[in-house]
Structure 1
Amino acid sequence: MRIEKEYRHLEGIDEVRIFNAEKKDFYKPTPKEFSVEDIPVQKLINNIPVEIHTLIPYDSGKDFIINGIGNFTLERYGKTQKDAKGRLLSKISPLYFNILYDYLFDVYTSHNTKNIRFVYYNNNKVTKVNTAKIIYDAERIFITVHNVDATVSKRIDTNYRTFDEDKTNLMESFSQTGSYYTLHGKYTWSQGIYNIINRAKEEADEYYNIVFDLAIPEDKHIVDKIFNITNKETAQCEEIIRIKTNDGILKVIEVNIYSYFDESGFIIRQGLINDITMYSDDELTKPVDFLLKGFKNSKKIALLIEPLNRKQYEYSKGFYDIIETDRETYYNSPGIITNIIEKDSAKMLKNLIDRKSTKIDETFTYAVNGNPNNKKILNLYIESFEYNESRHSLGFLTDMTDDMKKQDELVESNEQKLILIKEIHHRVKNNLQVLNSFLNLEKKAYKNDPELIIEHMQTRLNSLALLHEKTYRARDFKNINLKEYLIDHDRQTKNLVDLPVEVEFETYVDEDLNLSVEVMTPLLLIIDELTMNSVKHAFPDKTAPNKKITKEIKKLDNNTAQLIVKDNGVGIKDTSKITKNLGCEIIKSLSRQLGGKISLIETNNGTSYKLIFPIEMTHTI
């Protein structure tokens, strides 16, 4: 549990934020110590909608005796007035006593009324908001409380399109979140918006977007994108932009907007805006961008996130290179099917869009922008699945045009090489299935740490993308030079991973060690897992000098090679625990697939692993 206090100058209110508290934290059963009488208007207090707590100052305000508790609180804890009256606040609720004491004492001594807002969080989600006044009268302290249920769904019901003004009223109770809506071209802004942009309301605010107009020049294109998306039928848009307030403060805000047309054809737009400046780094991005970044340099293969969603889709840059379309003007429409030459393939894609199937894996001829003189051979793989009662999809688009040309050339010269190329594509698909298996395992193991899952997946994607590039350019797919690959791998890992400390990578590989793709794939994933373990756990002391992670790979004989990955970090105090974690299980599984044997090497400092593995494999993973 965590408590935060802050005075909100724009609203003139003290705010208390309470994180992850439980009922037992607020109430402690305590024997009665004092006899107190009901105040003359107790019956009135019990029958008005606002909850009122009554306290009697004790020992010159050092503590307070419970004179009466509001009915809402009593019902919440299943108690009666007899369970609370005549007890000291410090004993019956030490938590509330510590939170409220300074406010209560100030009101007791000054007789000035104080306004307080209580915001309750559970797992960083607002669950309840209370606005309270602390009043001194008749030698007593009265606390009046207005309770607000903050359980609000973000899902828009397109069948019931009447704007719910309660959302705006609720957002006015928040400190870092605001809401707005537009109707007939006029804006209505909640108080939370003014908290974010650091100014009071002005008469002209209903006529323009007072938040987006503050976007810095570098993010104006994102604002244009938001309006472009939300002006098309029913739509939802989630973006992150930076604004500069009129008093010169740079803020990072998260924007969630829902829009639709009413029966008269007028567009109605609802927006939720969250100030996330305190949680943002210098380079802020959405979680999905980490996955897309793994494909940022590829023009031949594209990652497709939500390709079946006409509004909320994210494609890596390669998609726009492949179909030769500008990202800014592209609109995700089923009309793209008309550019597929093979009718059977087009029909299979339409069935997927219409929910008549759940997967497509097709290679077809594609006429770029409908031009019959500009054709490409593409492979499209998309899976559709249900999650949280809604439909989602994930896929890959691969430009195989050059591959197919090379295949035709190889068929003429060597039929065996054509078979090898087909096998390479089959293995790439298998690699993606392996990554999907890892993702499912880590979703269960690290469900409370999605950023860790994304970082692991990004590292693995980078390794396999680099391997795919090497095999793509190689003439002999059975002999990939390991040393050349690992030099590029080290460089890309340093650029990809946000190293918490300065760590030097050293790699030593036999010059003549060449491996096939089927050996390289599990070997590289093992190296990734061991490297990331060292990066995250070996160097807790950022000031320690000469931090190194070393990889040594050498031939033992014509059939066997040895990998040693070691660091000069703090080492492992209890080796029995690491054998049970998910990372260790993944490494052991990959070692078995490789036909190798991995072991932990005893060392005076740091951590060291040794893997003995075959240079050639007779089976496919």
Structure 2
Amino acid sequence: MHVERQYRELEKIEEIRVYNIERNEVFQQSKPVKQLDKVRFSNVMKHIPSDINVFHPIDDDDFLVERIGWNLLERLNLKLEDVEGRKLSETSPFYYDIFKDTFKEVCETGETKAMRMFYYISDKIVTLANIHILCDEGKIYAISDLTKADNIIKTAEEQQKEDDENKATLIEYFSQTGSFYKAHDEYTWTPGIYNILNRTKETSDAFYNIIFDLVIPEDKPLVEELLGTMSPKTDTYENIIRIKTTGGHIKYLDTYLYSKFDENGEEVSSYGLFKDISIDSHKHLTRPVDFMLNGFNHNSKLSLLVEPLSKRYEFSEGFYKMIEIPKSEYIHKKSILNNIVEEDVRRELKKLIDGKITEVNKVFTYKVNGDKNNIKTCELFIERFKYGNKDHSIGFLTDITLSRKKQQELIKTNATKNILIKEVHHRVKNNLQVLNSFLNLERRAYGDNPNRILDNMQARLSSLALLHEKTYQTEDFININLEDYMKDQDSTLHMLFGAKNINFTSEVDPRIHLSIDIITPLLLIVDELTMNAIKHAFPDPDMPNKTISKKIDFIDEHICELILRDNGVGLKNPDALVNHNLGWEIINNLTRQINGELEILDCEVGTGFRILFPVNFEHTIAHHKEKWEESNEN
């Protein structure tokens, strides 16, 4: 059995992952300590789908079991008389260790706590339990809602709906917006609202306006004005209101409301959009998505466009650097399209704005502020999609002026470099597509562990940003020194994972020079192997001298060897890694891209991997490996 715990700051919930637990680890025979009174409404509880578990605190920091829910009893093949009146620490040391601190805190503060438990067999989720813990009349109630793995599997239609929801959620997180839809006196709130309020969803949220309930007294007249204004003649309302969150933060919300009325003037439904425009709205929040978006905010060549087709737009910093207008002075209007030179691109964008097409993917020439002497070449991708009853859009804008300029220069001087510069021109787009593919794969495999996905994406983004930076600064795209890249990658890994006290070292033959089409997948391979080691090699955070090392040498003039090792706990089951691991599949695919061969080393300490790859693609591994082995025998 293995247990992992993690606190989700955004949701204010603790997540617990339990791997390969056995029945005898959950329940132990023990003697009853006290004959307890029958739990009130016990018969009623039998008909409630949730498990209702009841405990009574006693003096020695322990808890007597008064009731265990029927689902859990059934899973453990127990009867209620097997557990009631026993100390929790004796009848289930496992659950006692999991819940004792939370039980104590709930007793002391009177506040309800939320927990989420995942039960795994190997790496597959079999059960998910959402638990709310509260104290009432001196007793502790742990209410658990169970979902079996069968209910977690989604149809293609459900997966597409979830994909669209994920895009909409990303947009809301980035732009600090959220919305509601009200029909039949019930509210449906989007995740962005809970991000603004910095709390989790509650069942009662469907029955009242959770934003208006927090409006400060000085702005209550604005809400009264709203309620008195909405009518068939005046069905929209815009204003700025202030709320005070449960955490004590004052927030300014740009508010837009729209209502529909029937022929009798009765309100049928209403829609509300709230945008957090507080100056310090981001300072007190730590959002997981910020780690990924940070890469866009510090990139002047690449811009993320959130809702570019709406007045609710939110663009990363690179956009304003590309068009050379300060964010504070920029006004989002269709007139900006007039600065695009190519008429066909302007025509396509107008079709996208009018909803006639759903996607634009174009390279175009842009006149900065209409100046013919200040020209930039840009690549644009915008996707329009529907989530719920609303249209949304998201896209990327890339400044490829420098790569285009170098491309033209190289065309004039060298045909070989012309081929390479075309690859450089498409590099950003291709790498984004690769990252998008990784994100889709990992979302399906690790959707229950978003931090793992974000950690992996952050490492890949950093490596590709390093690659872009160094190639933009050089004129030689064929003979790139590998040693420089590996050392810079180590520095990046130290910066990203320095808190884990892991040493990253590289030993690279300084004579190794590779082309960009080999270095790109090679860096991603090193990222995947390194992230795998960080996740699994060092389960004890206090382990001293944790090291992940890389060594890259020539085997002969055409073939190189990469050895990556860690001094961690080692692989208990290499076959499981090879046959059932998404990371291993990604590494294999990347290795095939460079015509390489991959093997797991037999190590006394830790884990090691060996990859043979050619310096140039025209040389094959098998031929030179055979020659190298023959020469060693001789």
Q: Specify if TM > 0.5.
A: yes
Q: 1:214-261: per-residue Cα shift (whole Å, max 9, x none)? A: xxxxxxxxxxxxxxxxxxx88999x9999985xxxxx7x999986325
Determine the C-alpha separation between the residues in 2 that align with 1:286 and 1:235.
28
Q: 1:522-562: per-residue Cα shift (whole Å, max 9, x none)? A: 11110001111112222222332222111101111111000
Code of the residue aligned with 1:493 in structure 2: it is L
Determine the C-alpha separation between the residues in 1 that align with 2:547 and 2:200.
52
Determine whether 1:260 maps to 2:262: no
Code of the residue aligned with 2:471 in structure 1: it is T
- 2:564 corresponds to: 565
Code of the residue aligned with 2:510 in structure 1: it is E
Task: Map 1:423-438; keep pairs closer than 5 Å.
Answer: 423-438=423-438
Determine the C-alpha separation between the residues in 2 that align with 1:470 and 1:332.
34
Determine the C-alpha separation between the residues in 1 that align with 2:373 and 2:35.
88
Determine the C-alpha separation between the residues in 1 that align with 2:394 and 2:221.
40
Determine the C-alpha separation between the residues in 2 that align with 1:126 and 1:177.
21
Residues 539, 335 of structure 1: alpha-carbon distance in 2 compared, 3 angstrom cutoff: same
Q: 1:145-173: per-residue Cα shift (whole Å, max 9, x none)? A: xxxxxxxx985338x698969999xx999
- 1:616 corresponds to: 616
Q: Say what the alpha-carbon RMSD is for the aligned residues.
A: 5.4
Alignment check: 8 A CA contact 2:180 2:187 kept: no
Query: 1:91 Cα deviation (Å)?
Result: 8.6
- 1:323 corresponds to: 323
- 1:206 corresponds to: 220
Give the paired residue count: 467
Q: 1:184-221: per-residue Cα shift (whole Å, max 9, x none)? A: xxx9535xx8xxxxxxxx97673699xxxxxxxxxxxx
Determine the C-alpha separation between the residues in 2 that align with 1:526 and 1:491.
17
Determine whether 1:285 maps to 2:309: no
Q: 1:353-383: per-residue Cα shift (whole Å, max 9, x none)? A: 3333333222222122334443322121234
Alignment check: 8 A CA contact 1:358 1:383 kept: yes
Determine whether 1:581 maps to 2:595: no
Query: 1:507 Cα deviation (Å)?
Result: 0.6
2:37 to 63, 68, 71: 63
- 2:213 corresponds to: 189
Alignment check: 8 A CA contact 1:129 1:173 kept: no
Query: 1:418 Cα deviation (Å)?
Result: 3.2
Determine the C-alpha separation between the residues in 2 that align with 1:472 and 1:130.
55
Query: 1:583 Cα deviation (Å)?
Result: 0.8
Residues 381, 270 of structure 1: alpha-carbon distance in 2 compared, 3 angstrom cutoff: closer
Structure 1 gap segments, 5+ residues each: 1-16, 21-59, 79-87, 100-115, 136-152, 194-201, 210-232, 246-250, 274-280
TM-score under structure 2 length normalisation: 0.60
Code of the residue aligned with 1:507 in structure 2: it is S
Residues 594, 417 of structure 1: alpha-carbon distance in 2 compared, 3 angstrom cutoff: closer
Alignment check: 8 A CA contact 2:256 2:273 kept: yes
Alignment check: 8 A CA contact 2:117 2:130 kept: no
Residues 593, 178 of structure 1: alpha-carbon distance in 2 compared, 3 angstrom cutoff: same
- 1:362 corresponds to: 362
Task: Map 1:222-233; keep pairs closer than 5 Å.
Answer: none
Q: 1:291-314: per-residue Cα shift (whole Å, max 9, x none)? A: 22224443222233454454254x
Code of the residue aligned with 2:286 in structure 1: it is T
- 1:146 corresponds to: none
Please state whether the residue corresponding to 2:426 is helix, strand or coil.
helix
Alignment check: 8 A CA contact 1:538 1:569 kept: yes
- 1:406 corresponds to: 406
Query: 1:477 Cα deviation (Å)?
Result: 1.0
Determine the C-alpha separation between the residues in 2 that align with 1:583 and 1:260.
46
- 2:299 corresponds to: 298
- 2:442 corresponds to: 442
- 1:494 corresponds to: 494
Structure 1 stretch 589-598 or stretch 428-437: which is displaced more?
428-437
Query: 1:386 Cα deviation (Å)?
Result: 5.5
Query: 1:119 Cα deviation (Å)?
Result: 8.6
- 1:344 corresponds to: 344
Alignment check: 8 A CA contact 1:553 1:563 kept: yes
Structure 1 stretch 406-415 or stretch 61-70: which is displaced more?
61-70
Alignment check: 8 A CA contact 1:594 1:614 kept: yes
Code of the residue aligned with 2:551 in structure 1: it is E
Q: Which has the higher helix share?
A: 2
- 2:232 corresponds to: none
Determine the C-alpha separation between the residues in 2 that align with 1:553 and 1:323.
43
Determine whether 1:554 maps to 2:542: no
Alignment check: 8 A CA contact 1:380 1:395 kept: yes
Query: 1:484 Cα deviation (Å)?
Result: 1.0
Task: Map 1:14-25; keep pairs closer than 5 Å.
Answer: none
- 1:544 corresponds to: 543
Alignment check: 8 A CA contact 1:18 1:120 kept: no
- 2:229 corresponds to: none
Determine the C-alpha separation between the residues in 1 that align with 2:562 and 2:555.
10
Query: 1:615 Cα deviation (Å)?
Result: 0.7
Structure 1 stretch 416-425 or stretch 559-568: which is displaced more?
416-425
- 2:523 corresponds to: 524
Residues 549, 597 of structure 1: alpha-carbon distance in 2 compared, 3 angstrom cutoff: same
Determine the C-alpha separation between the residues in 2 that align with 1:172 and 1:379.
39
Alignment check: 8 A CA contact 2:502 2:547 kept: yes
Q: 1:384-442: per-residue Cα shift (whole Å, max 9, x none)? A: 45567765544332222233333333343335433431232234433322222211111
Please state whether the residue corresponding to 1:541 is helix, strand or coil.
coil
- 2:509 corresponds to: 510
Alignment check: 8 A CA contact 1:348 1:360 kept: yes
Structure 2 gap segments, 5+ residues each: 1-13, 18-33, 51-64, 71-79, 87-109, 119-127, 139-168, 170-177, 194-198, 224-235, 262-269, 277-281, 620-634
Please state whether the residue corresponding to 1:598 is helix, strand or coil.
strand
Structure 1 stretch 425-434 or stretch 569-578: which is displaced more?
425-434
Determine the C-alpha separation between the residues in 2 that align with 1:165 and 1:558.
65
Alignment check: 8 A CA contact 2:493 2:504 kept: no
Residues 177, 420 of structure 1: alpha-carbon distance in 2 compared, 3 angstrom cutoff: same
Residues 98, 463 of structure 1: alpha-carbon distance in 2 compared, 3 angstrom cutoff: farther
Query: 1:485 Cα deviation (Å)?
Result: 1.3
Determine the C-alpha separation between the residues in 2 that align with 1:551 and 1:282.
38
Please state whether the residue corresponding to 2:180 is helix, strand or coil.
coil
Please state whether the residue corresponding to 1:63 is helix, strand or coil.
coil
